[in-house]
Chain A
Amino acid sequence: MASLIEEIRALGTQALADIRAAASLEQIEQVRVAVMGRKSRLTQLMRELGALSEDERRKAGMVLNEVKDAVADELKKRRAALEAAARAREIAGQSVDITLPGRARLFGRRHPLVQVRRQIEEIFISMGFSIALGPEIENDFHNFAALNFPDEHPARDMQDTFYLPGGWLLRTHTSPVQIRAMLATTPPLAVIAPGRVYRADADVTHSPQFHQVEGLLVDRRVTLGDLKGVLEAFAHRMFGAQYQTRFRPSFFPFTEPSAEMDIGCVICSGVGCRVCGGTGWLEILGAGMVHPAVFENVGYDPEKWTGFAFGMGIERIAMLKYGINDIRLFFENDKRFLEQF
């Protein structure tokens, strides 16, 4: 009996030593089979316990279990250590060249004119304006007559018009949308109208096709002061509050009084440069109080309603914002250009 217990203990001691000596996961598996496997001496002894007396069996069983637990524990520890070492080796071999380029995926961009258009829209929408749209192919009434451009008036020379057969034309500004919006609804209203417009004019700063955003507010007691307040707020949000604004008298047939708004030159900050012609100011939009004749043309009572309208060229705003010097770049769509925005 004593010799049995001794044998068990000796087996245990040997097993622990073997486990500690195992240098790889394969070896530890071999050791496990050898000490704990079905054919191992330990398992055999387990089976032989049945032949002992109950007292002896209990005593030997206790020792046997003690040894088995110790071996199992050691096996687990050793295996964990070996696994950790294996992972460490694996990780050490997994180093990549972090300077190689990341995997390419196409990166889509909105066109700079669209980006600027959306910025303008967002600013005015946040103030309470909503978007109105109109066709690009227009008639004389919406594009000129209703906007108080009399027939054969020199004011029509301000906008070189493309004509289509049948007396139709390509709209020269987004202002006809003012007329359409007013004819479609009753005041009060506050709309902006972005869109494509056309003029028979082409050079570095003029394109036969360009984009405008028109704005119109009609309500009771709208004043020139309100026009200044809204457009100053726009300019500051579009370009930054550090730029001054100024309003100069101007002329548009459909507004009176009319104004143009300048901002301090974004290139030279007002010192004077080639872009601003040395004046320190850049014109960014035209505006004015809606002319009573326009209200009369759409059936609004000018004694009851007043309003202001404004219009700006998206290309011009984008050129100033990004420092682009040739309007044609917008329509050439060179990849090298598009990828800058």
Chain B
Amino acid sequence: MQFSVRWLQRYADLDMPVQQLLNGLTMAGLAVEGVIDVGLISGKIVAGEILDIQPHSTAKKLHVCSVQASSDPAVPPLRIVCGAPGMKVGDRVPVALPGAILPGGRVIERCDIRGEWSEGMLCSGAEVGWNKDGSCLLQLDAAYPIGEGVDALVDVGVTPNRPDCLSLLGIARDMGAYFRRAVHPPKFRCIETMDRTDDFAKIAVEDKDGCPRYTARVVRNVRVGPSPVWLARAVEAAGIRSINNIVDVTNFVLIELGHPLHAFDLDKIAAHTVIVRRAREGEKLVTLDGVERTLTPEDVLITDPTRPIALAGIMGGENSEISDSTINVLLESAYFDPVRIRKTRRRLDIQTDASFRFERGTDRENIHVALNRAAQLVREVAGGEITRGFLDVVGARTKPQPITLRIQRVNDILGADLEGSQIADILVAIKCEITHSDHHQLVVVPPSHRVDLLREIDLIEEIGRLYGYERIRATVPYLPVQTAAENPLQETADRIGEILAAEGLSEVVTYSFTDRESLERARQSTADAVELVNPLSRQQSVLRTSLLVSFLDVIAHNRKHGNADLAIFEVAKSYHCVGSKDVPYQERQYAMAALAGRTPTHWSEPPRPWDFFDIKGIVERVLRRLGAAPEFIERKGRPDFHPGRTACFTREGRDLCVFGQVNPEVAAAWEIRGDIFLAEFDLEALAPCARPRIGFRPLGQFPAVVRDLALVADRNIPAGELELTLRAAAGDLLESLVLFDVYEGDKIPEGKRSLAWSLTLRAPDRTLTDGEINTLIEHILSALAGKHRAELRTL
């Protein structure tokens, strides 16, 4: 809500430095979101009057003006060069003095303009930020005193619970309460003719739920035309475009009192009869913005006996619009059901100043005040006669209900020590009526404009707000001692993140969104992908079923920026439709790690591309440190992985981690050249191992014996199988087993490969003898020979 400070000051005694007012607004809960200073704060843009206009000596289109810009008549006028068309002696306009900074950031200085000295600048509405009009100087009315800072336009954020602050009077009331200053609602008199209003117009309300109250007035013989300067400036100060004197009056009353009004051309209403009813299914209306709207019975519709003429509470219809030829005006001031207005405007996707207020709730008891104010202003600015009385169709009336407020409860919630009288003072300041009070409680009737005050806690908030949060003492509570429930999944997620970072991988955080095409290109499942009903873009229209798509995006993005070498991980979720009725969606927790490009560069050894065994090493260390020692490793066939370079560690029949190389076809789909190695940890499968039991094993006291064995076997026999046989044959004496060489080449027969292990043997209770060891080695060799035809390599 944007408003003018000078206008605000007409409704409450708020003659204080603007900064103090701004601070008050913020601390009362009306957060100041922007200020356009038209000189009221800086004093550098003042109202000035053009006293004389002379031609510029060298430039045809420029003039040299003499401008009175001081309240002291003894101060000589300023000499200002100006090229604005249409200016004339006597105009009151904004004068930017040297040192002024205009809203766009332009700094005004004394300067020479093509040979003529200029001591400032005369400004258009666009230049000072008042309106969008840069074609001529901004005309000011006499309410802007010569020589004083013009105004400040303040934008405050009004929270949805405070529709009463969507008007000048509302903000004035709140600031009056905050600063304890007097508030002055507008005083006016509606001068009527002797003609009875109901001779000129009739109202019927059929949809009483949608429209609990409808009032109307008739103003006859108006002259539609441009608004007077004061009115145009007043609506523009609130950010509304000036249209004509009648429409501007309805908008002005909206800003002033907060109640939306509508003006109809009475002569375009058939039979001069307004009927408020539900729209019929499929009924059509062209609204003021030129759009044809298709309606449903949900909508409250303003009609005449022949056709719809306005969409209630949202926007008028073109067919009954005020035009230059309008002579008789019907002014409408009504109360519409907030929920109905909201449903309609959401369905039609239109938001207007009127619907914004109606859906938040307006002051239902005072809609006739706004009506009378509008009629009086129409007469003032457009002439015409106001007929006698207003039409008023009232359904059920609602009075604000009394609320019991316990003094102890106020202090319990706020942590304050307020007396009943202090509380009462605050409530009176916001125009509540106190119908009863004793030592323990007050009975409070809120004013009708405070639609948010319904229960005790609402009043307690008001007391806290106006007492001042800053006056409430900060205290430190004793927190209830409780043991957090164990969450193995979360613990696993936290630990795996730490382990992967310790492995040298950097963490990424990616979007949960993707699109179907990306999932398909990454060869991920799309059948269970969760689709958004209202995505922001096609690229973010479904939830990912795998983190891989996000990783490919990250790798592609980094390649584009010259970072081909990446070692990254993320701990995050994938999302799936599972079809069950109660729980249709499932979130699965994964950790994903990826290596792309090459090992870190160092002068001592050339970098090399990452390979399968880099990712496998990471996986092995992560699982070991998590305490989730895998039982088996097996090949894994997955469309998104390389067929020959993919494996999976399993435990108790569950996949703990699938790892290997991303299918080069998938990488190519992201235009990534070079191999990508990936590990996908299933955190739900790992969670049961999250808290490994560590049992200490005593350190061996007897010496260990190390023997190296190089074995030649068929190259197709997996090393893991040989190792299994070796371990089984070696038994408990084998303390550790390290494979230290793999060789294929001309030193051994074709089709064979040599694998060399280093065995550390140790007994817990004795020193092993040579004889014992030799027997064991013989046993191992014969097992390997028997099962795999592996033989000791001879050089």
Contacts and interface: CB of A to CB of B under 8 A. Distances in A.
B210 interface: no
Contact of A200 (B474, B502, B536): B536
Nearest to A226: B477
Contact of B587 (A108, A136, A221, A230): A136
Interface in A230-282: 230, 232-233, 246-251, 256-260, 277, 279
Given A108-B505, A208-B540, A221-B412, A335 B512 contact: no
Interface stretch (A36-44, A85-93, A126-134): A126-134
Name the residue among B413, B472, B500 with the largest chain A CB count within 10 angstroms: B413
B497 A114 contact: yes
A9 interface: no
A202 interface: yes
Interface in A83-132: 100-101, 103-111, 113-114, 127-131
Contacts of A279: 26, 32
Nearest to B567: A106
Interface in A325-341: 330-336, 338-339
A249 B557 contact: no
A219 B477 CA distance: 10
B482 A108 contact: no
Given A106-B505, A162-B534, A250-B159, A137 B412 contact: no
A128 B478 CA distance: 9
Given A162-B532, A247-B469, A336-B563, A229 B475 contact: yes
Interface stretch (B127-135, B311-319, B457-465, B517-525): B457-465
Given A164-B533, A336-B561, A103 B604 contact: yes
A190 interface: yes
Interface string B588-618: 0000000000001111100000000000000
Given A128-B481, A152-B343, A136 B32 contact: no
Contact of B533 (A104, A163, A333): A163
A163 B531 CA distance: 9
A111 to B, nearest CB: 4
A289 interface: yes
A20 interface: no
Name the residue among A111, A229, A291, A330 with the largest chain B CB count within 10 angstroms: A111
Contacts of B414: 223-225, 257
A297 interface: no
A61 interface: no
B408 to A, nearest CB: 11
A230 B479 CA distance: 10
Interface residues on B, range: 35 or more
A51 to B, nearest CB: 47
A75 to B, nearest CB: 35
A208 B531 contact: no
Interface in B479-513: 479-485, 487, 490, 497, 500-513
Contacts of B557: 332-334
Given A233-B476, A333-B558, A164 B600 contact: no
B506 A109 contact: yes
A335 B573 contact: no
Nearest to A130: B484
Nearest to B568: A333
A105 B504 CA distance: 8
B466 to A, nearest CB: 9
A105 B53 CA distance: 78
Nearest to A163: B533
A225 B484 CA distance: 26
A154 B458 contact: no
Interface string A195-223: 01010101000001100000001010111
A213 B56 CA distance: 65
A180 interface: no
Nearest to B532: A162
A228 B472 contact: yes
Contact of B470 (A229, A246, A260, A333): A246
A208 B513 contact: yes
A335 B506 CA distance: 9
Contacts of B777: none
Given A155-B161, A221-B412, A334 B558 contact: yes
Contacts of B513: 208-209
A101 B508 contact: no
Nearest to A225: B415
Contacts of B505: 106, 108
Name the residue among B509, B533, B575 with the largest chain A CB count within 10 angstroms: B509
A223 B161 contact: no
Nearest to B32: A279
A223 B475 contact: yes
A331 B485 CA distance: 31
B585 A137 contact: yes
Nearest to A257: B461
B359 interface: yes
Contacts of A247: 469-470
B736 to A, nearest CB: 24
A335 B561 CA distance: 9
Given A114-B509, A230-B477, A133 B28 contact: no
Contact of B507 (A114, A155, A162): A114
Nearest to B479: A128
A168 to B, nearest CB: 6
Contact of B413 (A128, A157, A224, A251): A224
Nearest to B29: A249
Given A100-B603, A229-B477, A333-B568, A223 B415 contact: yes
A158 B29 contact: no
A163 B474 contact: no
B342 A108 contact: no
Contact of A256 (B457, B476, B531): B457
A158 B247 CA distance: 30
A50 interface: no
Name the residue among B162, B469, B472, B497 with the largest chain A CB count within 10 angstroms: B469
A158 B158 CA distance: 12
A113 B600 contact: no
A331 B554 CA distance: 9
Interface string A313-330: 000000000000000001
Contacts of A129: 479
A330 B359 contact: no
A223 B29 contact: no
Nearest to A223: B415
B461 to A, nearest CB: 4
A339 B505 CA distance: 11
Contacts of B584: 165-166, 168
Interface in B331-369: 338-339, 342-343, 359-360
B575 A248 contact: no
B761 interface: no
A37 B360 CA distance: 113
Contact of A163 (B416, B532, B567): B532
A39 to B, nearest CB: 37
A306 B415 CA distance: 11
A189 B477 CA distance: 13
Contacts of B159: 250-251
B27 interface: yes
B279 interface: no
Q: Considering the complex of A and B, which 10 residue pairs feature the smallest CB-CB distances, nearest first? A: A106-B504, A225-B415, A223-B415, A249-B29, A130-B484, A128-B479, A251-B159, A188-B480, A104-B600, A108-B501
Given A133-B487, A162-B532, 6 more contacts: A104-B601, A129-B479, A131-B484, A223-B475, A306-B412, A338-B508
13 contacts: A101-B603, A155-B161, A158-B160, A165-B584, A200-B536, A224-B469, A228-B473, A250-B159, A256-B460, A306-B412, A333-B508, A333-B558, A335-B506
Interface of A: 100-101, 103-111, 113-114, 127-131, 133, 135-137, 152-155, 157-158, 162-166, 168, 170, 187-190, 196, 198, 200, 202, 208-209, 217, 219, 221-226, 228-230, 232-233, 246-251, 256-260, 277, 279, 289, 291-292, 306, 330-336, 338-339
